A and B are shown apart, each in its own frame.
Chain A
Amino acid sequence: MTVLDIVFWLLAVISIGAALAVVFLQNIFRAALFLVLCFFAVAGLFITLQADFLAVAQVLIYVGAISILIILAIMLTREMWRGNPGGRFQLPAFIIALGLFGVMVWAVINTSWQISAELPLVPTTAAIGSRLFGEGGLLLPLEIAAVLLLAAILGAIVLVREK
């Protein structure tokens, strides 16, 4: 076993353990903190795959911003100390999640993954920049992403305005 294998299994165990803690913990604030740990472990997995830009984006957006959003949403919740009581949909949700897990495992096993013989490109940031903005780049999807972000801002404004 190489060092990379050890790091991979360590990160895999941390991310899956943290994800299970998110589901099973009664205190939702602690669940949110475990979600942050899970995001961090996934960023580590991106690093082991030599996807440096993706790892930094994962830390910047998921660990830095999305988790702040989730924690703020918990802080805004009334009577959050009641914890995470099981609802009527516990069993149907479990069955659907199990079905989704089965479909994903089936897809992963049955896909013939193509493995490139070329060495990975490092660092990836400049390559992503020329792919996004260069000749034949993805400019239209980029502007559509801007419109999506604009919709998020407008939605937030509607949310906080009284009347």
Chain B
Amino acid sequence: MLTDYGYVGLFLIIAILFAVSMPLLPLTLSLLGLVPKKPNPIKTSTYECGVETIGKTWVQFNFRYYFYALLFVVFDILIVFLFPWATKLKQLGAGAFVAVLAFLLILMVGYIYAWMKRVLEWK
């Protein structure tokens, strides 16, 4: 079992090496003098997905995003409860099914309330 995690660790090491080598590669190439260095104002300007940058880096975001983050946390926790039940679905039978249904119904109350109060619409 633990050796299986060795593969995950291997992927992690490859990911870290990739992330480190990507910025290091052009830096070493320019230090070795293999890359010509001819800066001009347009070349050295700040680049952001092809669009010219406007204003400061830190802007205050709309507080409505927080609602979606909170909803995301709630339904993420829901998965943690549903997953162990799903792995033993057949052996656990009807009693567990009713329990999970009640669990979902309680959460649905919140979802329907959000729908009725129109907080899921973006104004």
Chain A residues with CB under 8 Å of B61's CB are: 72, 75-76
Number of residue pairs spanning A and B whose beta carbons lie under 8 angstroms apart: 147
- Secondary structure at the B interface, as helix, strand, loop or mixed, is helix
Interface string of A48-79 (1 = CB under 8 A from B): 10101100010011001110110011011110
Is the beta-carbon distance between A157 and B91 smaller than 8 angstroms?
A: no
Cross-chain contact B88 with A133 (CB below 8 angstroms): yes
- A139 and B66 within 8 A (CB): no
A interface footprint on B91-115 (CB within 8 Å = 1, 0 otherwise): 1100110011011001101110110
Partner of A61, one of B66, B80, B100, B103: B80
- CB of B106 within 8 A of CB of A147, answer yes
State the majority secondary structure of interface residues on A. Answer: helix
Bound state CA distance, A60 and B78, in angstroms?
A: 11
Nearest CB on B from A150, distance (A): 5
Flag if A69 contacts B73 (CB, 8 Å).
Answer: yes
B74 within 8 A of A: yes
Please indicate the chain A residues that have their CB under 8 angstroms from the CB of B64 in the complex. 160
Chain B residues near A69: list those with CB within 8 A: 66, 69-70, 72-73
Sorting the interface of chain B by its residue count into under 10, 10 to 19, 20 to 34 or 35 or more gives 35 or more
Assembled-state Cα–Cα distance A126/B80 (Å): 12
Closest chain A CB from B73 CB (angstroms): 4
Counting chain B CB atoms within 10 Å of each CB, the highest count among A123, A134, A155 belongs to A134
Interface string of A108-151 (1 = CB under 8 A from B): 00000000000000110110111011100101001101110110
A142 pairs with B92, CB closer than 8 A: no
Using A132-B84, A133-B84, A146-B107 as known contacts, say yes or no to A153 and B74 having CB atoms under 8 A apart.
Answer: yes
A149–B113 contact, CB under 8 A?
no
Which chain A residue has the least Cβ–Cβ distance from B97? A133
Quick check: B67 and A146 within 8 Å, CB to CB? no
Q: Is B87 located at the chain interface by the 8 A CB criterion?
A: yes
Q: Does B58 belong to the interface (CB within 8 Å)?
A: yes
* Contacts from B to A (Cβ < 8 Å): 1-2, 5, 56, 58, 60-67, 69-74, 76-81, 83-88, 91-92, 95-96, 99-100, 102-103, 106-107, 109-111, 113-114, 117, 119
Q: List 22 A-B contacts (CB under 8 A).
A: A4-B2, A48-B2, A61-B76, A61-B80, A65-B73, A68-B69, A69-B70, A72-B61, A122-B1, A128-B84, A129-B83, A130-B88, A130-B92, A133-B96, A134-B91, A142-B99, A143-B106, A149-B77, A149-B110, A153-B113, A156-B67, A157-B113
